Amino acid sequence: MHLLSFIFTILPLFAPHTWNAEDAIDDTPGYLRGEQTYEVSFPLQVSPDSSYLICFDGANQEAWVSLNGSPLGYHAGGYTRFYFDATDKVCNGNNLLSVRVSNAYNPDIPPLSADFTFFGGIYRPAYLTILPKHHILPDGITICTSEVSEKSAVVEVRTQTSLPEDAKCRLRYSVVSPAGDTLRLKKSRFTLQQPMLWSPDTPHLYTMVVQLCDRRGRVMDEASTRFGLRYYHFDAQTGFYLNGKPLKLIGTNRHQDESGYGNALEDWQHERDIRLLKEMGGNFLRVSHYPQARRVMDMCDSLGILCSVEIPLVNAITESQDFEENSMRMLDEMIQQNRNHPCVIVWAYMNEILLRPPFKNHPSRDSLYRQHATELAQRLNSRCKALDPERYTMIAFHDNMKLYNGCAMTAVPDIIGMNIYQGWYSGNFSGLETSLEAQHAATPEKVLLISEYGADCDTRIRSAKPVRFDYSIDHALRFHQHYLHVIQSTPYIAGGAVWNLNDFQSEGRAGAISHFNLKGLTTTHREPKATYYYYQSMLHPDAAMRAHAKEQMDSLLRMPVATEYPICVLLGTDRWFTENTTGQIWQSEQAYQKGSHGYIGGHRFSVQTNHGRLPAADADIMNTHNDPIFQTARLGISEYRLDVPDGAYELTLYFAELQQQGEVTMSVYNLGSKVLDTGFEGRKMTICVNGQEICHDWQPEWNTACAKTICIRTHHDEGIRITLNASQGETILNAIKLTKLEEQQ
Ligand code: GCB
C-alpha cells in the first residue's frame, strides 16, 4: 500500500455497486446476467511528474475500461484487483471514464456454475491513484519469510517498480516492529533476531517500508506492506502445528454478500464478519470460493485468523486454452495480492470440480475430461509452488472421494479438503466418520481437512422431531454438535470449516427462504443463530464468555408456546414456525381429540427425490415471505375440527398446491437432478365450514399462497368443523388460523 503523503493521492471513482441486489431475491426466477455501463467524470490538473492509475478492487466478471473515448484495457475475473496506467490518456479539465461490465456466462472464465449468485457490477471500490512518475507498483512489494523460528527469521523483500529493470535507482528498506521500533536495513534480504511471532493469540504485525530513490538518494516514492512471522506445518497423522505447537483449525467459510446489498459490501461489513468469527472462538477462515476484499485479509491478519484462499474453479471446467489461461492469471493475481498476509497458510484452486461433469453419459469422453481436470490441477498446483513455495496447496472435493482418488486428483495438492454433508444431503451424521476413515485409509500420507460441513437452518423454524431438510434450528444444532465433536477428537483431521459463517444468496435455491443458502451460523444480516452460540460456548477462550454464549443459545432454544388465540396450525408437519414480522407462532399439526382441535384423516405431503424424501416442498411460494406456512400440507384430510366455545370467530384456511403434474426436474440443492414423473393428475375439492360452502370443485394454484377467510358465529357448543371432500384426487390443507372476535356488548 502506498503511504499517505504528499506524493500520493486517491480519488474515489465508483462506490461498491451491483445491479442484482434486488432481482436476485425477488419472486421472478433468474437475475440479470448481461452487460451494463458505468460512467463517471472527474476533473484533473495533469502534472508531467505524476502517473495516473485507474484501479479496481473488483468488478464481476469482465470489464472493458476506456478513458476519454480511448480504450484502457480489459480484465477477466470477478474477484481480484486490477488497474490500468492511464497516464497518457488523462487530460486537463474533465475526464470521462467509462466501464462496460458483464456478468454473463462465459465458458472460458471460472466460475462456470456454483451455489452462489454471480452478482454483476463494480462491486468493490474503484479509484484513481495519482503517484509520482517513477513509482512502486500497486501490490509491488513482496515479502518472503523463510527459516522462521523463535530465535530468528530470514526475510526477503522484492519490489516491482515502474522503472525498467536496468534503471539507475536505489531501494531503501526499513522495518517497523510490532512494538513500534524502526530498523533501517541495508539489503533486501536480512535476518531479524528474536522475532515477535504471529499467532491467533498474538497477531503481531511488522511493517516493511520501501523507498524508491534516484541516483542522488532523493526519495521518489514510498510504499509499505504489513507482514508477520510464524512457522507452521501440517502432519497427515496429527494435524496442524503453528510455531511448534499443535493447533486444531476450527472456523468457517464465508461468502461476501448481504440481503439488500448483494455483494456490494462496505468495509464495515467485511470487518464485522471477521470479528464475528473471532468472537465465536474461530481461528480459521476458508476464504471461499474466491479471493475476497483487502479488508477481509487485513482483519484476519490483525485478529489472528488463519486462512486458505482460493480461485473460483467450482463444479466444472472448460477444456479450453482460454479457460486455463484465465485460471492461471487468477492464481497469479490471488498470490501476488495476498501473499504478504501472514494469515494465509494455504492456496486452493478447485472446489468439487467433478460435481457437474458435462459428459457424464459418455464414459470414454468423461474419462478424458477427468484426466484433463487432473492435469489442470497439476499445472495449477505447480504454479502455486513456483510462485510461493512457502504455502501448502489444497483442493476441496465433494464427498464422492472414489471419483477423485480414481483419477489421481487427490494425489495433486498437499491437503485434501473434504466437503462433507452426511446428515444433510445424504445419510446420517455418523456418515461423517465413515467418509473420513475411508479417505484416511485410501491416502494415509495426505493431510485431511474438512473444508465444508453444514446444515440449512431458518431461525423461524423449530421441531421436536428434527430431520434433515426441515430447516429447523434443532436439526442444525444436532448436526454441528456431532461434527464438532468428531473434528476435535480425530487426530488426523487438521481442522474443519463450517459452511458457512453467514446465510448467503444463491438465486436458484428454493427452500424455507428461497434464493438463500441457509447454512450460515448467522443470518444474512449476521444475527447469530443458536448454532453460532453453540460454537462460541465450545471454543471461546474465556470461560465467562463461554457461559454467556450457552445462556444465549439456551434462550434461543426455548420452545415457543402456542397462543390460546389465534389458533395457528401448520398441517402435515412437526415444524413450529414463528413469523418474524408479527411474532405469531404457528404450532405443528395434531390429530383431533375431543375438547381440543386437530385434523381427521389424511397423510403428510412429502417430496420424493433421487435420495430419499423431503419433509417440505422445495418451492419458492409466490406472494408470501412466510413460505414455511405453505410448504407443508395434509393430503386427503377429511376434516379439521375445533371444539371452541360459542362465539364469533374469523377463520382463515391457507393453501398452496405443492404437487406438479407430469415430469418435474428438482433442484439439485434439494436432492434432485433426474426428471421424475409425479403421477399427479390434479385435484378438485369442496370445502365447507359448519355446513357453509366456501369453495366448490376447487384446486389451489401451484406454488402460490392463497388464503380463504370467513367469519362464523357458533351456537350450542357446535364448535367449528371444516370438512373437505374431493371429487378428483385428494384434498389438501396447508395451514389454518382461527381468531376469536371481540363480542359487541
Ligand atoms: C458445497 C459447495 C458450496 C455449496 C454447499 C451447499 O459443497 O462447495 O458451494 O454452497 O455445498 O450448501 O450445498
- pLDDT score, position 732: 98
User: Which of 496, 599, 541, 471 shows the shortest CA–CA distance to 202?
Assistant: 541
pLDDT of residue 381: 98
What does the pLDDT average to over 66-75? 98
Residue whose CA is closest, atom 2 of ligand 1? 115
83 Cβ inside 6 Å of ligand 1 = no
Q: From the CB of 352, is ligand 1 less than 6 Å away? A: yes
What pLDDT does residue 744 have?
A: 65
Residue to substitute in 113, 403, 419 for testing ligand 1 pocket (most ligand atoms within 8 angstroms of CB): 419
Q: In the predicted model, what is the mean pLDDT of residues 417-442?
A: 97
Cα(452) to ligand 1 centroid in Å equals 8
Q: Which of 107, 89, 105 is nearest to 97 (CA)?
A: 89
Phi and psi at 162, nearest 5°, equal -80, -5
Which is the closest atom of ligand 1 to the Cα of 517?
Answer: 12
| Ligand 1 atom at minimum distance from 289 CA | 9
Question: pLDDT at position 10, please?
Answer: 87
Q: What is the mean pLDDT of residues 625-630?
A: 97
Could you tell me where the beta strands, DSSP code E, fall in 299-378? 306-310, 344-351
Determine the pLDDT at residue 662. Answer: 80
What is the residue-wise DSSP string for 691-735? TEEEEEEE-PPBTB-EEEEEEEEE-TT--EEEEEEEEES--EE-E
Cell 468428531 belongs to residue: 486
pLDDT at 745: 58
pLDDT class for 1, splitting at 50, 70, 90?
Answer: low
- Report CA(319)–ligand 1 centroid distance (Å): 23
Amino acid identity for residue 670 in this structure: N
Q: Answer yes or no: is the C-beta of 398 below 6 A from any ligand 1 atom.
A: yes
Nearest C-alpha neighbor of 493 from the set 432, 449, 438, 440:
449
Residue 6 in this model has a pLDDT that exceeds 60: no
Where does the pLDDT of residue 58 fall: very low under 50, low under 70, confident under 90, or very high at 90 and above?
very high
Which pLDDT tens digit goes with each residue over 88-147?
999 999 999 999 999 999 999 999 999 999 999 999 999 999 999 999 999 999 999 989
Cα(261)–Cα(16) distance, integer angstroms: 9
Look at residue 273 and give its three-state secondary structure: helix
- Res. 609 pLDDT band, cuts 50 70 90: confident
Give the span between the Cα atoms of 372 and 360, in whole angstroms: 14
* Residue 669: per-residue pLDDT: 72
Say if CB 421 and CB 453 are below 8 A apart: yes
Report phi then psi at 482, rounded to 5.
Answer: -65, -50
* Residue of minimum CA distance from atom 3 in ligand 1: 115
Binding site membership of 509 for ligand 1 (Cβ less than 6 Å)? no
* Interval between CA 115 and ligand 1 midpoint (Å): 6
Q: Are strands 152-161 and 189-193 parallel, antiparallel or unpaired?
A: antiparallel
Instruction: Provide mean pLDDT across the span 297-326.
Output: 98
Compute the distance from residue 516 Cα to the ligand 1 centre, in Å. 12
Element (H, E) at 546: helix 543-557
Tell me the three state secondary structure of residue 450. Answer: strand
Report the pLDDT value the prediction gives residue 185, as an integer from 0 to 100. Answer: 94
Please check the confidence at residue 268 and state whether its pLDDT lies above 70.
Answer: yes
Kindly state the average pLDDT of the residues 467-484: 98
- The reported pLDDT for the residue numbered 221 is 95
Distance (Å) from CA 500 to ligand 1 centroid? 9
Ligand 1, atom 6, residue with closest C-alpha: 115
Name the residue of 499, 507, 668 whose CB sits within 8 Å of the most ligand 1 atoms, as the mutation to test its pocket: 499
pLDDT in tens, 488-497: 999 999 999 9
Going by pLDDT thresholds of 50, 70 and 90, the confidence category of residue 5 is very low
Q: Which residue has the cell 517498480?
A: 161
Instruction: State yes or no: pLDDT of 503 exceeds 90.
Output: yes
Q: Is the CB of 419 under 6 A from ligand 1?
A: yes
Pick from 438, 429, 439, 335: nearest CA to 389 = 335
Amino acid symbol at 322: D
| Cα(488) to centroid(ligand 1), Å | 22
User: For 4-18, 129-143, 317-331, which range has the lowest pLDDT when averaged over its residues?
Assistant: 4-18
Model confidence pLDDT, tens digit, residues 347-404:
999 999 999 999 988 999 999 999 999 999 999 999 999 999 999 999 999 999 999 9
Please say whether the beta carbons of 500 and 519 come within 8 A. yes
Is the Cβ atom of 452 under 6 angstroms away from ligand 1? yes
Confirm or reject: Cβ of 351 under 6 Å from ligand 1.
Answer: yes
Q: Is 690 left (phi over 0), alpha (psi -120 to 50) or beta?
A: left
- 3-class DSSP state of 217: coil
Instruction: Name the grid cell of 515.
Output: 434464493
Per-residue confidence (pLDDT) for residue 4, from 0 to 100: 43
- Compute, in angstroms, the gap from residue 410 CA to the centroid of ligand 1: 19
Plot region of 456 (φ>0 → left; ψ -120 to 50 → alpha; else → beta): beta
3-state secondary structure of 241: strand
For ligand 1, say whether the CB of 500 is within 6 Å of any of its atoms.
Answer: no
Take residue 733 and report the three cell numbers written for it.
390443507
640: its cell numbers:
379439521
pTM score of the predicted model? 0.96
Q: CA 306, CA 297: separation in Å to the nearest integer?
A: 10
Residues 6+ apart with CB under 8 A from 574: 463, 464, 465, 470, 588, 615
* From 517, 518, 669, mutation site for ligand 1 pocket: most ligand atoms within 8 A of C-beta: 517
| pLDDT of 230 above 90 | yes
Give me 16's grid cell. Answer: 461498491
For the ranges 110-119, 158-167, 219-228, 348-357, which has the lowest average pLDDT? 158-167
Q: Is 237 strand, coil or helix?
A: coil
Question: Which three cell numbers, joined as nine digits, stand for 583?
Answer: 411474532
The closest residue, in CA terms, to atom 10 on ligand 1 is 115
Whether the CB-CB separation of 283 and 258 falls below 8 Å is answered with no
Q: Which atom of ligand 1 is nearest to the CA of 454?
A: 12
- pLDDT (0 to 100) of residue 743: 72
- Report which protein residue has its CA nearest ligand 1's atom 7: 419
| 206 strand-pairing partners | 227
Task: Name the residue with higher pLDDT: 671 or 557.
Answer: 557
Q: How far apart are CA 123 and CA 59, in angstroms?
A: 6
CB neighbour list of residue 72: distance below 8 Å, 6 or more residues apart: 54, 65, 66, 84, 86, 89
- Which pLDDT band holds residue 663 (cuts at 50, 70, 90)? confident
Q: Whose CA is nearest to atom 13 of ligand 1?
A: 669
Q: Which residue has cell 495449477?
A: 380
- The CA–CA distances, whole Å, from 531 to 37, 481, 500, 556, 618 equal 42, 9, 11, 10, 23
Hey, what amino acid is at 497? A
Q: What is the rounded average pLDDT of the residues 68-81?
A: 98
Ligand 1 atom at shortest distance from the alpha carbon of 352: 8
Compute the distance from residue 670 Cα to the ligand 1 centre, in Å.
12
Instruction: Indicate the residue type of 520.
Output: G
- In the predicted model, is pLDDT for residue 671 greater than 80? no
Residue 411 has pLDDT above 90, yes or no: yes
Residue 115: CB within 6 Å of ligand 1?
Answer: yes
Burial of 185 from C-beta contacts in 10 A (0-12 / 13-18 / 19+): middle
Average pLDDT in the 263-271 region? 98
510-539 pLDDT per residue, tens = 999 999 999 999 999 999 999 999 999 999
At 195, the pLDDT band (50, 70, 90 cuts) reads: very high
pLDDT band at residue 672 using 50, 70 and 90 as cut-offs: low
Largest CA distance in the chain: 106
Cell representation of residue 481: 454438535
Ligand 1: centre distance to CA 80 (Å): 22
Half-sphere exposure of 731 (CA within 13 A, CB side): 27
Cβ–Cβ < 8 Å for 123, 63: no
User: Would the CB of 308 count as within 6 Å of ligand 1?
Assistant: no
Distances (CA, A) of 11 to 109, 137, 264, 407, 745: 30, 17, 19, 50, 71
Single-letter residue type at 270: H
The whole-angstrom separation of Cα 541 and Cα 281 is 7
Q: Is the CB of 286 under 6 A from ligand 1?
A: no
**Residues 591, 598 contacting (CB under 8 angstroms):** yes
